[in-house]
Amino acid sequence: MENFLDSIEKRTVAFLVARREKRVTAQARKAPRTFWGEIKGWLDALLFAVIFMLILNQFIFQLFVIPTPSMVDTFRIGERVFVDKNVYGLEIYPGGPKLASKHRMPQRDDVITLYNPEYDSRGPVFDILAQALYMATFSLVNIDVDADRNPRERLYVKRAAGLGGDVVRFIDGNVNIRAAGTSGYVNEEDFRIANGLSRAPHRTVESAIYPALKAWGALYEYQERNIPSSRIPSRLITTYQSNASLLGNSPVDFYAFTHARNITATILDPADRQARSERTKADIGIFVPENHTLPLGDNRDNSHDGRYFGPVSNATINGRVLYRIWPLNRFTTLL
């Protein structure tokens, strides 16, 4: 028995000694820590973190900074929102095609982020790099700026106001909707009440300014065509002069202003095809094709949105806003 125990002890000691020698040898062969070795280690960790955040922001969620007042008071300039990136399908790369999106379409009243259809691209490499850097830093770093160092709006945040088959028109600032499958227009406020939709969209321009606003648009077109004042209808001048003071204290509805210009242009020159086309489009409303959405800002009087650039393809809608997360005292859910 003693021989057996001695054998076990000797084997254990030999194993422990061999293990210790192996560890000492490995440590002796290990390269000493250097400054550049430490830098490389930190860079490896940073690269992993950036790639991890890119994956999260591209396929799962993204933080978005509100750049303009178009969604006031739902969102204010500088607030940060949480965007669900896969609710309408998985976007393969920033601005690229989406997977599993066939039956995942925006619903009416969703607050969405979409790619600006009027964005002046600087090339696919820059666009993807700028978007990747923006996402990887949680919107803290944006290299996509203009000559004045102001961020260029590659992404918009708007509300899905019109869906495929709808017709939407604007009369003196009021939105009228003819929903798909119906025959008549309904004022948007009544439409929202009847369908239990958000009451956030609102106007700040008073109806009383529209006579002066439309007279201003008509007079501007006369001026652009260098028509002498003696040939301008006196009623336009009178209407403008008697109400001009109202314009100075109110935001300007440029959509109505432009429509007044186009009406005047078609009267002065019936052969002006562009003005006639724009006038007709405004008169009959904006038709929303299937698989498209008409995005509008909640601040209807100060928003560059679908009334100017038209409906957008659902393929260009990259997410839905779920929460306002900053500042903390304004945290809210939009579910």
Show which residues are catalytic.
Answer: 70, 158
Q: Which amino acid is residue 242, in one-letter code?
A: S
Cis peptide before 327 (omega within 30 of 0): yes
Maximal CA-CA distance, the chain: 129
Cis peptide before 144 (omega within 30 of 0): no
The string of DSSP codes covering 244-267 is HHHHTTS---HHHHHHHHHHHHHH
Helix (H) and strand (E) counts in the chain = 9, 14
102 C-beta neighbours (distance < 10 Å), count: 9
CA atoms within 13 A on the CB side of 237: 9
CA dist list (Å): 226 to 54, 231, 237, 265: 55, 11, 16, 12
- CA Rg value for the chain: 31
- Closest by CA position to 211, among listed 183, 247, 176, 167: 247
What burial class does residue 220 get, using C-beta atoms within 10 Å of its C-beta: 0-12 exposed, 13-18 middle, 19+ buried?
middle
Identify the residue whose tokens are 């301008």. 232
Q: Which amino acid is residue 327, in one-letter code?
A: P
